[in-house]
Amino acid sequence: MPNLLESNQLGGRKLQRVVYTEEVIHNRIQEMGVEISAAYGPDDRLLLVGLLKGSFLFVADLVRAIDLPLQVDFLVAASYGARKKSSGDVRLLYDPEASLKDRAVILVEDIVDSGATLNRLVPLLEARGPSSLEVCALLHKRLVTLDREPRWVGFDAPKDFLVGYGLDYAENFRHLPYIASL
């Protein structure tokens, strides 16, 4: 895909290599949908809470791959800004409107990197009384031990800074249908 890489550069930042193709991502999400569907029943009142902005494409594809009645909500937490490394300071900018009480909740994360966001959000969501709370991550870098490891992981990711398929660098590159190294 050299022409895709060459055509996607910004301010001196250019993509190095495609890490996961569109087809590979699609196939893995279909598999994750089957796994999640098998873990819950139609009476579990399933709620997927996507962590914006990075997870929006993943959530859209994942909910279509789950063969159960479900609801979707979102929350926004920020820890990166325009940097390539998390500041470690997690700010909650938007809270889910749906009640989590007595619901089977899956927190959907685009990438587990420093773990700061998950370690901050899981206790906050657990305090709202869900019947269960699991984490589903498209990518996991396995850099840290988390208080709550994701139950479902799409891919063990390289330590590279990744963009595409919702992942960004300073709000750029989210539109790419694949995941690439910056």
Per-residue pLDDT, 70: 97
Beta strands in the chain (DSSP E): 9-10, 13-14, 17-20, 46-52, 70-78, 91-94, 104-112, 132-140, 152-156, 162-163, 179-181
* Mean pLDDT, the chain, whole residue set: 88
Per-residue pLDDT, 2: 42
For the domain spanning 21-79+86-157, the CATH number is 3.40.50.2020
- Residue 4: other Cβ atoms inside 10 A: 14
- Residue 82: other Cβ atoms inside 10 A: 9
Q: Which residues are catalytic?
A: 113
- Name the residue type at position 68: L
Contact 90, 76 (CB under 8 A): no
Domain limits, the chain: 21-79+86-157
Per-residue pLDDT, 11: 53
Per-residue pLDDT, 144: 86
- 141-179 residue pLDDT tens: 999 888 899 999 999 999 999 999 999 998 999 999 999
Q: Does residue 88 register a pLDDT over 80?
A: no
Q: What is the pTM of this model?
A: 0.87
Higher pLDDT, 83 or 175: 175
Mean predicted confidence (pLDDT) in 6-33: 85
Contact 62, 34 (CB under 8 A): no
